[in-house]
């Protein structure tokens, strides 16, 4: 079972079952059990670009545990921010890969690896661009230095 830690240091286990899929669909109207939404990137794009949807989706998955611990949806969502968003996103996709039969799960894992590589590449390119912009600003004379 896959797990992530929220910003309040609570550990959440993402155990995906058919009951989980039904609960998620009822609470969020998302069909995370539809393999085509995973393999065509639709769900992973939504997860990566909409932290509110991600938090609602995660809460629907862990709702039985949250209720047992008397943690409201608002309290749960308040603990999903920063690096937790990224960690929880990847954990969710890994949990879904574990849920599906081996061939489909392997495909999801390949897509997950590709997404991680693309994210790393984008971060490196952004950092390089910022470094170039910063070095350009440092070499530009300031009005004080021209006096």
Kindly state the average pLDDT of the residues 19-35: 92
| Per-residue model confidence (pLDDT) at position 147 | 55
| Per-residue model confidence (pLDDT) at position 123 | 75
Distance CA 1, CA 106 (A): 16
* 52 pLDDT tier (thresholds 50, 70, 90): very high
Instruction: Please provide the size of the chain in residues.
Output: 147
Instruction: Identify whether the C-beta of residue 27 lies closer than 8 Å to the C-beta of residue 106.
Output: no
| Per-residue model confidence (pLDDT) at position 46 | 76
Instruction: Give the pLDDT confidence of 63-119 residue by residue, as tens digits.
Output: 999 999 999 999 999 999 999 998 999 899 899 999 999 888 888 888 878 877 877
pTM as predicted: 0.76
């Amino acid at each position: 079972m896959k797990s992530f830690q929220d910003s309040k240091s609570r550990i959440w286990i993402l155990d995906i079952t058919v009951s989980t899929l039904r609960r998620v669909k009822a609470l969020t109207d998302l069909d995370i059990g539809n393999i085509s939404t995973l393999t065509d990137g639709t769900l992973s794009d939504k997860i990566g670009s909409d932290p509110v949807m991600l938090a609602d989706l995660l809460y629907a998955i862990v709702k039985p545990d949250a209720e047992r611990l008397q943690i409201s949806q608002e309290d749960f969502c308040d603990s999903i921010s920063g690096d937790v968003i990224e960690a929880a996103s990847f954990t969710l996709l890994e949990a879904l890969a574990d849920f599906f039969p081996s061939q489909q799960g392997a495909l999801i894992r390949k897509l997950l690896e590709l997404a991680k590589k693309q994210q790393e590449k984008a971060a490196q390119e952004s950092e390089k661009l910022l470094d170039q912009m910063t070095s350009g600003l440092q070499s530009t004379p300031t009005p004080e230095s021209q006096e």
